[in-house]
Amino acid sequence: MTSQRTQVAIVGAGPAGLLLGHLLRAEGIDAVIVERQSADYVLSRIRAGVLETVTTGLMERLGLAERMRAEGMPEDGFNLADGERLIRIDIFGLTGRRVTVYGQTELTRDLMEAAPARGLEIVYEAADVTLHNVDGASPSLTYSKDGAEHRIEAAFIAGCDGFHGPSRKAVPASAGRAYERVYPFGWLGILADVPPCHHELIYANHDRGFALASMRSPTRSRYYVQVGLDERLEDWPDDRIWDELAVRLGPEAAAGITRGPSIEKSIAPLRSFVFEPMRHGRLFLAGDAAHIVPPTGAKGLNLAASDVAYLSEALIAWFGRRDPAGLEDYSRRALARVWKAERFSWQLTTLMHRFPDTDAFGRRMQVAELDYIASSEAMRTAIAENYVGLPL
């Protein structure tokens, strides 16, 4: 078995792990990232792309924002639809800040491509990753690659390996607690090389269910419709999806829809999930390893970025001046923001979707809530503040 030492071993080469690795290397801290998939597979995953200023700010800080600035689409607002009208949430007018539409795949690519020149080692296709002694003074992880066994010894381990990764499983059941809500529907997504139907995102509540119109670029669109968990992709040819979108998004958005062949289709279930605490000994969890939000609020990637902002600050203070305060307070700080984002995502999901038990009264309550949002600047401000991202 080969062995190496580093200061921080990072499990997972998604945005959370890559951002953390780059932030540590920028301060001269050694870090190694271990990823079970290939680099091509990591880049093939289609994910969201609405970035808060916390995320764009980290890319700016790292000097990796050039392509994001050139290709990203700053958004001043977004819209809630009720089948007949668009209710605009003027996030810039109400908060003075914007979000940026820039695909998570593209952000990941920027971080991956910059890694070699900045001395950030990434081990792809690392099988059987296992964490050891995370509650002791000398944690380590092992993995296999190319028929050989490898060990990495570190001062700390950062688990950035997603919901199904090994990091959270390394925390004893007696040392943590999970909170979860699984939603009784999923999102059927279609990606197509067609112009967006509207220059801003549209979240639609319709009698037939939720729909979302979003974009990845001026020439590539991403749409979603709410479907039952028993639905099959083969039962949803492209024409059926376009027809359903035209109904659910309402007449104004439907008039702008450009149809085209899908280049990717998938059905994703929705869940809210939080694991507490986000630290066990010398293991720190970040991103989807610790929490999942339904995509309605566009919080998943941005919560991972805020976790990394807190964790990198704490690790830099420890290695720079042996200050343990940030490490000791990491879980509390991160979870305070996580739960606020969970609340907003749950609230928006509940408002905009049809649940199996949504009766006539429940539907009227949704309509009344949307009417109140349309007429109340205070309500629109609260939504805008949460959507654009609460302060760190």
Tell me the C-alpha to C-alpha distance, in Å, between residue 306 and each of 10, 16, 54, 71, 389.
Answer: 16, 9, 7, 23, 10
pLDDT, tens only, 83-141: 778 999 999 999 999 999 998 999 999 999 999 999 999 999 999 999 999 999 999 99
Do residue 23 and residue 112 come from a single domain? Answer: yes
Do residue 116 and residue 149 come from a single domain? Answer: yes
Q: Is the pLDDT of residue 270 over 90?
A: yes
Query: Cβ distance 304 to 288 under 8 Å?
Result: yes
Q: For the domain that residue 146 is a member of, what is the CATH number? A: 3.50.50.60
Q: What is the number of domains present in the chain?
A: 2
Domain extent for 188 = 183-270+355-368
Q: Is 73 within the bounds of a domain? A: no
pLDDT, tens only, 295-353: 999 999 999 999 999 999 999 999 999 999 999 999 999 999 999 999 999 999 999 99
Tell me the C-alpha to C-alpha distance, in Å, between residue 31 and each of 15, 130, 138, 322, 381.
Answer: 15, 17, 15, 17, 41
Do residue 301 and residue 264 come from a single domain? Answer: no
Do residue 27 and residue 108 come from a single domain? Answer: yes
Query: Cβ distance 234 to 68 under 8 Å?
Result: no
Q: Report percent pLDDT > 90 for the chain.
A: 95
What is the total residue count of the chain?
392
Q: For the domain that residue 364 is a member of, what is the CATH number? A: 3.30.9.10
Q: Which token pair is 273?
A: 């999930």
Q: What is the chain's mean pLDDT, rounded? A: 96
Do residue 18 and residue 146 come from a single domain? Answer: yes
pLDDT, tens only, 50-70: 999 999 999 999 999 999 999
Q: Is the pLDDT of residue 46 over 70?
A: no
Q: Is the pLDDT of residue 44 over 90?
A: no
Do residue 342 and residue 208 come from a single domain? Answer: no
Do residue 216 and residue 167 come from a single domain? Answer: no
Do residue 147 and residue 224 come from a single domain? Answer: no
Q: Is 288 within the bounds of a domain? A: yes
